[in-house]
Structure 1
Amino acid sequence: MPNERLRAAIRAAGLTIEDLAQELHVDPKTAGRWITADGRVPHPGNRRDISNLVGVDEVHLWPSLAESLHVKPNTETELVHLYPSRSSVPFSLWTELIASVKKQMDVLVFSGQFLVEQHNILPVVRQKATEGASFRFMVGDETSTAVTQRAMEEGTTGGLQGRIQMMRRYLAEVASHPNVEVRTHGTILYNSLYRFDDNLLVNGHAFGALAGQNPVLHLQQLPGGLMWENYMRSFDRVWEQARPESF
């Protein structure tokens, strides 16, 4: 499998493969194979340089090194990167995470309209659902107290409700696929959650702030990872009480 942890760490550090190759004085094709080639692990000197460059422990980037006595134990948490706002998450990161989905994508939002209008997610959902990937979308119930209160806090009374209705119309185009489920919820949205296989973007919400202004945690799923389990357990709780949409 491609090394998605390394890919995410390079992207989170604001670098490209070409930047990495230049810093390490290697051919870009070599640097690219560290991500795309199954099980390819760089030489120790290059590993240390990459780890220092992206600010992530070697064992997090290459879990197969965990048993090596020549490599320091992994002290890295599940946190890949902290973005000060959703608006500061690189456009290319959203695109890459969406395109990388092979098994599971989960979304918990009130609207999430930007996924369609900025990242053209619907054709990707159709293709990947046909290939066997599963998709769960939860959008807000625009008649709920939670949505009304959120719209008032944001100063977008009526606007949020309209965006939710638009998102449901978009999702109706893919909801007939057996691997795509759409539900609506009326819970308080403490966090918007975007899961792409073993990557999770957590967009926390602050009172009175727009979603795009609030920080985003980029997490990676690790064995025994408490942060991942906490947020995905929250997702499942909302999913259980959300109402299946019939289009």
Structure 2
Amino acid sequence: MQNERLRAVMAAGGWTYAGLAKAVEVDPKSVERWVNLGRTPRRATAMEAAEALGEDVHALWPALRQARAARAISPELVALYEQRADLPVSAFVDMMTQARERIDVLVYAAVFLHEAYPRLNDLLRERAAEGCSVRIAVGDAESPNVQARGQEERFGHGIESRCRLALMHYRPLVGVSGIEIRTHETTLYNSLYRADDQLLVNAHVWGANAYGAPVWHLRRNGEGGMFDTYGQSFDAVWATAKPVQQEE
């Protein structure tokens, strides 16, 4: 997702990527990513850039306002998003790209990832080839819990279809070294997207689709915190999930 506000401010002031990069002492490619990929720079760098542009830093990068409020509540809470739709897919992709040890995904379907980023399977293969453990758990379309969620979200049989579609997307990864795909039948209280010590938690709200429910971004800060609570939840579901077999 592009940062159109930043693009407009730079254009109005005649700023180039190289010019702003020089002003805040970063690589021009970083500035390009701020604009074209919607990346958020570190707070100190963002403050310098905003000052150079003569713009309010929170107007350029609203996530920084969210991050500041979140840290006042918990050292593990990086940011809080009102709904998943507010979070660009690039946030999920960037997090997975940075993973070096593990990627864990617990969802019913979350087909928005493949739809918005068709290279997702390639990314997961690349991470696995570099030694990263990848575990993906999607909902079993035949599960009563999945079917109940469809009724609760007023989505009918759509959720079951999306579970089957998600499995179709991930099936080419079955058998790839370092990657495991399983289906689960559990009640999904939260969708979890973990990459090493970072975690995106999409809380579920009765009667609302997941894209309209809140997301909190956690970063592990020692043992026994919220991060580990969700990590243990993932492991508990994973232990009951069924491995997807290669098609003959």
Q: So what's the TM-score if we normalise by structure 1?
A: 0.72
In the superposition, relative to structure 1, how do residues 76 and 178 fare at CA in structure 2: closer, same or farther (>3 Å)? same
Q: Residues 98-156 of structure 1, C-alpha deviation per residue, up to 9 Å, x if partnerless?
A: 22222211000001211211122111011121121111000111111100100011122
In the alignment, what sits opposite 2:158? Answer: 159
Contact 1:116/1:170 (CA < 8 Å) preserved in 2?
A: yes
Q: Distance in 2 between matches of 1:29 and 1:76?
A: 32
Count of matched residue positions in the alignment of Structure 1 and Structure 2: 205
Contact 1:94/1:119 (CA < 8 Å) preserved in 2?
A: no
Q: Residues 10-44 of structure 1, C-alpha deviation per residue, up to 9 Å, x if partnerless?
A: xxxx989x99x96xx632339x6xxxxxxxxxxxx
Q: Residues 146-200 of structure 1, C-alpha deviation per residue, up to 9 Å, x if partnerless?
A: 0010001112221111111111111111111120101111111000000011110
In the alignment, what sits opposite 2:232? Answer: 233
Structure 2 gap segments, 5+ residues each: 8-15, 31-43, 49-56, 59-63
Q: Secondary structure at the match of 1:151?
A: helix
Q: Distance in 2 between matches of 1:164 and 1:128?
A: 24
Instruction: Read off the aligned partner of 1:96 and give its amino acid letter.
Output: D
In the alignment, what sits opposite 1:102? Answer: 100
**Match status 1:180 vs 2:179:** yes
Contact 1:78/1:225 (CA < 8 Å) preserved in 2?
A: no
Q: Distance in 2 between matches of 1:223 and 1:168?
A: 34
1:224 Cα deviation (Å)? 2.5
Instruction: Read off the aligned partner of 2:161 and give its amino acid letter.
Output: G
Q: Distance in 1 between matches of 2:218 and 2:6?
A: 18
**Match status 1:168 vs 2:160:** no
In the alignment, what sits opposite 2:86? Answer: 88
Q: Distance in 2 between matches of 1:197 and 1:191?
A: 18
Q: Distance in 1 between matches of 2:196 and 2:211?
A: 23
Structure 1 gap segments, 5+ residues each: 1-13, 33-45, 61-73
Give me the identity figure in percent: 35
Q: Distance in 2 between matches of 1:170 and 1:155?
A: 24
Q: Secondary structure at the match of 1:181?
A: strand
Q: Distance in 1 between matches of 2:155 and 2:167?
A: 19
Contact 2:140/2:183 (CA < 8 Å) preserved in 1?
A: yes
In the superposition, relative to structure 1, how do residues 241 and 149 fare at CA in structure 2: closer, same or farther (>3 Å)? same
- Give 4+ residue runs of structure 1 displaced > 4 Å after superposition: none
Contact 2:89/2:113 (CA < 8 Å) preserved in 1?
A: no
In the superposition, relative to structure 1, how do residues 209 and 127 fare at CA in structure 2: closer, same or farther (>3 Å)? same
Q: Distance in 2 between matches of 1:176 and 1:155?
A: 35
Q: What is the alpha-carbon root mean square deviation over aligned residues?
A: 3.3
Q: So what's the TM-score if we normalise by structure 2?
A: 0.72
Contact 1:144/1:186 (CA < 8 Å) preserved in 2?
A: yes
Q: Distance in 1 between matches of 2:181 and 2:108?
A: 12
Q: Distance in 2 between matches of 1:150 and 1:233?
A: 23
Q: Secondary structure at the match of 2:27?
A: helix
Q: Distance in 2 between matches of 1:75 and 1:84?
A: 16
